[in-house]
């Protein structure tokens, strides 16, 4: 796929989930470099920077996308040769993709240690990192059960229950408004993340904060599963995360409602750190309040303030 096609597929949700969009963006920027047929370093840099802008604009909330592109373009300003620059972008992108896929597996192994035999686990939307934890616990023979939310309007919960059913995990689907009702029998909630802010707030699929509130009320641990490239360096210097609002037609068709009715369709929300017990990353389980340290270690202060 050409870079614009990848960006459009991300925009239209054909490619979705913070990890998958990050890996697709890294691959797209690599192809953008490799397909350049000219001989001008400056021209190639411009082409890559244009690609970076297009990809990042395709889903504004997930920092994973921006971090993947930035990781792929790391060091290009220090290279003065087209061939070398292409090789650098290709090897950066490949390393990012490899690291990202390994991270999901490691998170599964670490997170599964937090799930005990016979527990009922609730999850929201469709997160590969959260599913990695759930499936690892299941494959370890822990005989867990899962409650999965539908996740309107895109109903990604259907992907989750199909995936779990295929792995023979006992799973129940509920509508999003049944979360508090279902929480009384749940032992632990695991969910993914699109972006983690320096103050430990987690941005994930709309409704995640409601699961966190209901879990808090019921004294149920609320665990986020996220690779370290989902932490946002920009939030260290005060930038707020833009919450994507998608087209109203995803909620209801215009002809179903009087024209005076307004529809809002925010697709992510922020869960404050006080409702999060822990964040499982590929470098270990951390408190949400350790987010700043992860950002500094992962990205370095020069990168943050450059």
Q: Is 17 in the site for ligand RUB (CB under 6 A)?
A: yes
Q: What is the 8-class DSSP label of residue 136?
A: H
Helix or strand holding residue 106 (H, E):
helix 82-112
Question: Shortest approach of ligand RUB to residue 245 CB, angstroms?
Answer: 12
**If you count them, how many residues does the chain have?**
306
Alpha helices in 154-260 (DSSP H): 157-166, 179-183, 208-217
87 catalytic, yes or no?
no
What string marks each residue from 186 to 215 as x (binds ligand RUB by CB under 6 A) or -? ------xxx---------xx----------
Nearer to ligand RUB, 49 or 101 (CB): 101
Interface residue with ligand RUB among 103, 186, 267, 291 (CB under 6 A) is 267
Query: How many H helices and E strands in the chain?
Result: 11, 10
Alpha helices in 2-81 (DSSP H): 3-11, 18-34, 41-58, 63-72
Distance of CA 179 to the CA centre of its chain: 21
Q: How many CB atoms lie within 10 A of CB 97?
A: 19
Question: Shortest approach of ligand RUB to residue 213 CB, angstroms?
Answer: 17
Nearer to ligand RUB, 31 or 128 (CB): 128
Q: What radius of gyration do the chain's Cα atoms show?
A: 20
Q: Is 288 in the site for ligand RUB (CB under 6 A)?
A: no
Report which residue's Cβ sits closest to ligand RUB: 192
* Interface size with ligand RUB, residues (CB under 6 A): 17
Query: Which tokens sit at 239?
Result: 């930038």
Q: What is the 8-class DSSP label of residue 280?
A: E
94 catalytic, yes or no?
no
Question: Shortest approach of ligand RUB to residue 302 CB, angstroms?
Answer: 27
Question: Shortest approach of ligand RUB to residue 92 CB, angstroms?
Answer: 20
Residue that has been written with the tokens 């082409």 in this structure: 47
Stretch that binds ligand RUB, among 10-18, 23-31, 83-91, 288-296 (CB under 6 A): 10-18
Nearer to ligand RUB, 127 or 136 (CB): 127
Alpha helices in 186-242 (DSSP H): 208-217
Residues in contact with ligand RUB by the rule CB under 6 A: 16-19, 125-129, 154, 156, 192-194, 204-205, 267
Active site residues: 125, 194
């Amino acid at each position: 796929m050409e870079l614009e096609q990848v960006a459009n597929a991300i925009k239209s949700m054909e490619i979705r989930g913070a990890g998958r969009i990050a890996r697709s963006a890294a691959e797209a920027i690599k192809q953008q470099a490799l397909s350049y047929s000219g001989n001008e370093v400056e021209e190639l840099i411009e082409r890559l920077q244009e690609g970076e802008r297009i990809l990042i604009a395709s889903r504004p909330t997930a920092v994973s996308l921006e971090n993947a592109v930035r990781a792929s373009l790391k060091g290009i300003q220090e290279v003065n040769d087209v061939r070398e620059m292409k090789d650098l972008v290709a090897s950066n992108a490949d390393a990012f993709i490899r690291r990202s896929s390994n991270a999901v597996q490691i998170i599964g192994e670490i997170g599964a240690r937090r799930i005990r035999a016979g527990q009922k686990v609730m999850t929201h939307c469709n997160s590969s990192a959260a599913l990695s934890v759930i499936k690892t616990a299941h494959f370890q023979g822990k005989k867990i059960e899962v409650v999965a939310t539908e996740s309107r309007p895109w109903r990604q919960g259907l992907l989750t229950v199909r995936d779990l059913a295929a792995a023979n995990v006992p799973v129940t689907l509920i509508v999003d408004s049944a979360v508090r009702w279902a929480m009384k029998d749940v032992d632990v909630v695991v969910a993914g993340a699109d972006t983690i802010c320096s103050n430990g707030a987690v941005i994930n699929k709309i409704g995640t904060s409601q699961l966190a509130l209901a879990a808090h009320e019921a004294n149920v641990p609320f665990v986020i599963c996220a690779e370290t490239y989902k932490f946002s360096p920009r939030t260290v210097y005060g930038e707020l995360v833009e919450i994507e609002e998608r087209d109203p037609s995803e909620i209801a068709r215009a002809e179903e409602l009087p024209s005076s009715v307004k529809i809002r369709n925010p697709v992510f929300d922020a869960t404050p750190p006080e409702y999060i017990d822990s964040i499982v990353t590929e470098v270990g389980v951390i408190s949400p309040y350790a987010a700043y340290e992860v950002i500094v270690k992962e990205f370095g202060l020069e990168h943050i303030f450059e």
